[in-house]
Every structure is written in C-alpha cells, then in structure tokens.
Structure 1
Amino acid sequence: MSPNDSSDGGAVTPAKTRGAEGSRLRSGIESTETEQRSDRLRRGYESRRSTGDRRLTAGLLALGVLSLGGAIALPTAQRVLFPLAGVGLFGGVLAYGLSAGRFIDASDGERVYGAFADNLAAVTDTLGLTDERTYVPVPNSTGVEVRLLLSGRVDHLLSGEGDAPIVDPDGRGLLLEPSGGDLYDEFREALTEPVATSPEPIAEQLIDALCHRFEFVTDADWVVSGDGQRVEITVSDSAFGPIDRFDHPVPSFLGVGFAAALDSEVSLEVSVEAERNAGVVVCRWHVGEASQSTGERVPS
C-alpha cells in the first residue's frame, strides 16, 4: 500500500488535498487576471471619455479668462468682451459640472430605436424573409466591415464595394448595415489594448463595453462552449427594451464584435426571459465549416 492510500475510503489523502489546493489556486489566479483586464478596459474607457470633457471645460474657461483680461486692457471693447467672458466662464463651470456623465432617459432611447426596429421588421415581412440573422465580414476598400445578412447569400447581394443596404431584386435577401457597426468602431478606438482574437477574451471585452462603456445593460454573464464555436450571453435590464427586437443594439454589437474579431460569419439566436427582465444571446460562428452565406469554406 502506498503512503497516500488509506484503509478508510472516506479519508482525504494528502494527494487529494494538494490537488484541491492547486485547483483553488489556479481558479484564484484566473479570477484575479480577469478582474485586472476588466479594470484596465474600464480605466481606458473612462480616460477617453473624460479627456474630451476636460478639453471642453479648459477651452471655455480659457475663453472667459482671456476675454475678461481683454475687456480690462481694452475699455473700448468691453461691450463685446465682457459678455464673451461671461459666456466662457459660465460655460466652463457648467461643462465641469456636467462632465461626470451625460444623461439620456432610457425610455427616450427605447422609443427612437423602437420606430427603427418596427420599420425594418415590416420591410423584412413584406419581402418574406426568414428570421435568420447572420453577421458577415465583408471586404471593402479600407479593410473589412460587418454587415447584417437576412436570408440570401452575400455573393449574390454584393455590388461595388459592398455598401449597405442592398436588396436582392428578386426579394431573396437583404444586406444591411447593423446598428452595432458604429458601436464596435467606437469600442475598438477606446480600447487600450488590441481586440482579442479568441472567444473567451473577446466576450470579456465586449461585455465590459456593454456594461461600462455604453451602459446598455446593467449586468451580463457568458459561457463559451467547449469547442470554442459558441457563446451564450445573458444580459439584464437592457436600456433599449426587449433584446429580441430587430437588430437590437445589444445583440447587434455582440454579433458584429465576434464577426470582426474572429473574421468569421456569426449567426445569432436571441430570446427574452421576461420574469427576470433578462435576455439571452447565443452567438455561433462557422470556423472550419462551409460558409452558409457564400458557400466557401471558412479557414480555421
């Protein structure tokens, strides 16, 4: 019998104890690294946002001070410079007071998006298109942009440089610019590190932006599948209402983000859990499989 064996089947052996301690240690290290990456992302977003506020405040205050000094030095110009000084100083103080955050009522944003969603949903119904939504990277003169494909195939819809929207003359498909496209561009510019290229860190970056940069949701959790070709994301308290509406900004941003970062088309399934005021977004990509939109094989 080895030293680590025990006649008591229920006894905890030293080997088991060391294994459990090692597992807890690895889990703690991974948790710490995740928190540190999230903190870096959050600091980067806050720094970019506050820089513009500081510049505006400083510019207005400088205008006020210079105008006031000019009014004192040039009595003949006081009628113009004193009001200008007042505007600059008052504007600077006001900008400083508002720089902590810009408030837009969530219900107003939801109403604006709701009209857009209802109109496009009516268009797709009129064309008889399916509910399948695929976010597809499309090459253009400046690189790659992501488009929202509704039925059809990209190679049948593209013309020129692939500017959206494009409607198949036979009504078999529709290629649109997604609501998450410009959001993804802003997210990428605000990052203090490169966009990740594997599913787990991509999900972390995108969700951190949804919660802290854009504040579209209050909380989110995600699980990446074992084969690395699927992620399920649960979000809470969407600022734009139920996330299962047409090209909702939350799933659209996620679809665009995964499609751009992985350079692969991404299909979405979206559902709502009304009792928890939550929604679930399932993103699937087709790495290593035949592309559904072009018929070509996507390299892994």
Structure 2
Amino acid sequence: MSQPAPSKPDMTADDTDQQADVVRDRQTLEAELEVLREENRRLRESYARARRATFRRTAVGFFAVGGLSLVAAFVFPALQTIFIAFGGTGVFAGIVTFYLTPERFVSASVSDTVFNTLADVEQHLVSELELQTERIYVPTASHPETAARLFVPQHVEYAVPDPEQLEELFVTGVEAEQGISLPPTGDRLYTEFEQAMSGTFGTGPDAIATQLTAALSEQFELVDDTTIEIDSENQTASIAIDNPAFGDIHQLDHPVVSLLAVGFATGLDRPVTVDTRDDDRFSGVVTVSWDTPEQPSQSSDAATPEQEMAPTPETD
C-alpha cells in the first residue's frame, strides 16, 4: 500500500505579507542607497567646481589689475615704467593661475589612507623576512630613472650592495649584502623638487638640508616648519619636523623622511642611513647619517698576503 506523498505546508497570509515586506524594504534601501551615492557624487562635483571657481576668480582679479595698470601707463606717462611693470606682473600671474587650476582635489584623509596601506605592506614584508631596523638609502647615479633605492639589510653586520644589485626586490649573493631593495617614496618627490629647483643642488650638508627643508614646507607643504642642526664632526644632520603630513614619521619610508634621505644620498653621492626619534618640542626629529657603514670583519682563518708569501720551513 503506497504512502501518500508528504504535502508542503501551506504558506499563510502572514508569511506572504512578511516576504513582500522584506522585498519592499530591500528595494527601498537600494533606492535610498542609490540616491545617497548620487548626492555624494553631486556634492564632490560641486565642491570641485567651487574650488576651481575660486582659482579662476583669482585669475580674473590678476587680469583686471594687469589691465588697469597697462591703461594707467598710457594715462600717466610719468609713471609709465611702474605701471607697465605692474601690468605685466598681473597678466602673467593671471595666466599662471588660470592654467594651473587643479581639476581634481584629493582629500588629506585619502592620501593618508593610501600611504598607510603601503607602509603596512612594506613593514609586514620586513617583519616576515626578519630583516634589520637599519634603513640605508643608496644613490643610483648609474641609473638616471631613479635617484636612490632603499636597502633594508638582513644581517646586523652588513655591507651596502652595488647599485646594480639593488634593481631587484630581493638582494642575494654575498651574505653580508643580503636584504631587500625598495623604491623609496621620496624618489618621485625628489624628481619633482629637482625639476622645480632654480640653480644647482648643493653638495654640502648645510646647503642640502636648507634646500630640502624649504621644499618640504614651501613646495610640497608636507610640514609646517623645520629646524636644522648639522654635526660635521659626526657626519650627521638632524632635522626637527613640525606637524608632518601622512602621520607618524616613524613609519617605514615616510615621505618626509624619504625625501630627506634621498636628497642627502644624491647630494653627497654616498649611502646614508636615517633614524627618527620623538622630541617634546617637535612632532619628531629625523637624523640623517652619512658615515660609511661598518664592513663585516674578515675571518681570522683567511690567509693574509704575507702568510701566503712566507716560505715554508724545511723539515729534516
């Protein structure tokens, strides 16, 4: 005798209403989310337009000052030279301001998030490989596409590899030269600094520090203020930093620290090491050292040239 097939429980009217409510709620939330996205997009565009309008109003003001000065030069011939100078300056400033108006604005929080993510990845790499805390910035004059590379050694007793060996991420070969080589964040900043620089880059520690700190505060606006202290005897430069961008300067390859290190390595044309410390008077202090790294001592078992040339005593 066959068993009757079990019948599915009938859905009550309440269950049907609940499912319908869930569908309606989801559709409502999706619609509200889309409205919020559109509103956020509209606000960003409105903010960008407002910033561009501010720049362009400034440019119009410069043009107006320049135009009025040129007109005044013809009205007042006695002051023609002065008014022509004002007019030329105003027109030039207007042109520069108008054409250099930024098209996109990136908030500081976005920039901080991007750098912090990069710093975390690099720090995890260093931790996983159990590398040392030393940070050596090596100039790469033989490779014009980069100004320097960041070398993190594996051993306490290390030797700085040749620039050719630093092209790869993992530096292998001689045990003392093992580690990793990273492109420093300050490399591109140094390129921008070099392109905007008027005159030549200094070769002495004082000149290098002065030019780099001016770029940090005026060109890139990465710090509010800096204080320089050069110790020629110990071959170090200490730069106190006030209110740096991108947060804590103790992070691996912080842009402010990196630009200083790349600049010193390039200007002095030798590897430099960097160290950061806290200071109650400032946000932090960056110390750049260009001492020659201590080379690992040779094994005592290795024969010296005198030992190799010494005659072997004859035995009877």
Q: CA separation in 1, counterparts of 2:152 and 2:129?
A: 10
Query: Does the alignment pair 1:231 with 2:233?
Result: no
Offset at 1:185? 1.0
Residue identity opposite 1:271 in structure 2: R
**Quick check: 1:114 aligned with 2:120?**
no
Residue identity over aligned pairs, in percent, reads 33
Q: Is the 8 A contact 1:149 1:175 kept in 2?
A: yes
Cα 1:293/1:151, change in 2 over 3 Å: farther
Alignment match, 1:123: 125
Aligned counterparts, 1:83-232, within 5 A: 96=98, 99=101, 103-142=105-144, 145-152=147-154, 153-155=159-161, 158-159=164-165, 162-168=166-172, 172-227=178-233, 229-232=235-238
CA distance in 2, matches of 1:116, 1:130: 19
Gaps of 5+ in 2: 1-54, 60-94, 298-316
Higher RCO (C-alpha 8 Å, min separation 6): 1
CA shift digits 1:105-149 (9 cap, x unpaired) = 222211110000011100000000011101111343548731111
Paired residues, what number?
A: 201
Q: In the alignment, what sits opposite 1:27?
A: none
Partner Cα distance (2:133, 2:115) in 1: 19
Residue 167 of structure 1: CA displacement? Answer: 4.3
Q: Distance in 2 between matches of 1:293 and 1:174?
A: 18
2:290 maps to what in 1?
A: 285
Is the CA contact (8 Å cut-off) linking 1:267 and 1:285 kept in structure 2?
yes
Q: Secondary structure at the match of 1:210?
A: helix
Question: What residue number does 1:26 align with?
Answer: none
Q: CA deviation at 1:276?
A: 5.4
Unaligned runs of 5+ in 1: 1-52, 58-92, 296-300
| TM-score, reference length from structure 2 | 0.56
Q: Assess, with a 3 A threshold, how the Cα gap between structure 1 residues 293 and 220 changes in structure 2: closer, same or farther.
A: farther
| Alpha-carbon distance in structure 1 between the residues aligned to 2:126 and 2:151 | 11
Which residue type is aligned with residue 130 of structure 1? Answer: Q
Change (3 A) 1:154 1:225: closer
The AA in structure 2 aligned to 1:163 is: E
Query: Which one has a bigger Cα radius of gyration?
Result: 2
CA contact (8 A) 1:135 1:255 kept: yes
- Give, in whole Å, the separation in 2 of the partners of 1:276 and 1:104: 30
Query: In the superposition, relative to structure 1, how do residues 143 and 115 fare at CA in structure 2: closer, same or farther (>3 Å)?
Result: closer
SS at match of 1:155: coil
Q: Distance in 2 between matches of 1:141 and 1:211?
A: 29
Amino acid at match of 2:287: V
1:187 is paired with a residue whose SS is helix
Let me know the Cα RMSD of the aligned residues.
3.5
Distance in 2, matches of 1:157 and 1:178, equals: 14
Q: Distance in 1 between matches of 2:114 and 2:146?
A: 28
Give the distance between the partners of 2:234 and 2:282, measured in 1 at CA.
28
Deviation per residue, 1:27-79 (Å, 9 max, x gap): xxxxxxxxxxxxxxxxxxxxxxxxxx99xx9xxxxxxxxxxxxxxxxxxxxxx
Verify the 8 A CA contact 2:249 2:256 in the aligned structure 1: yes
Matches within 5 A, 1:37-56: none
Contact residue 240 and residue 282 of structure 2 kept, 8 A: no
1:148-205 CA-partner distances (Å, limit 9, x unpaired): 110154438944xx42433448894111111101111110111111000101111000
